[in-house]
Amino acid sequence: QKEVEQDPGPLSVPEGAIVSLNCTYSNSAFQYFMWYRQYSRKGPELLMYTYSSGNKEDGRFTAQVDKSSKYISLFIRDSQPSDSATYLCATVRIQGAQKLVFGQGTRLTINP
């Protein structure tokens, strides 16, 4: 079993829809959580990161963490075709080296 599980999709929604992307993790040592966006043939680009349980909002994006259930989510409001990409959740332990542990990535398409 992978340490971070993420539904690979693909997920296809119409423009303007609210998108919900989710990951679960298995190790309580993971304390920071990130969402990266990766366009085709590009490197991952950090969207948001959070430490605490609860919500963190940045424009049309909201990251949600529930440490009690080991569940993390990313919501995209008013989705745009430019949001079409692969979304990767990632986590890291506080102690020790900074190596990121990624989910498989969800491929998202926003249809005009």
Partner 1 sequence: GAGVSQSPRYKVAKRGQDVALRCDPISGHVSLFWYQQALGQGPEFLTYFQNEAQLDKSGLPSDRFFAERPEGSVSTLKIQRTQQEDSAVYLCASNGARGQWGNQPQHFGDGTRLSIL
Q: Within 10 A of 56 (CB to CB), how many other CB atoms are there? A: 15
**3-class secondary-structure state, position 105:** coil
Name the minimum Å distance from CB 88 to partner 1.
5
Name every residue whose Cβ is closer than 8 Å to that of residue 77 and which is 6 or more positions away in sequence: 18, 60, 61, 62
Cβ proximity to partner 1: between 6 and 64 the closer is 6
Work out how close the CB of 45 gets to partner 1 at its nearest, in angstroms, rounded to a whole number: 7
50 or 62: CB nearest partner 1: 50
Q: Which residues bind to partner 1, rule: CB under 8 A?
A: 4, 6, 8, 31-32, 34, 36, 41-46, 49, 88, 90, 92-105
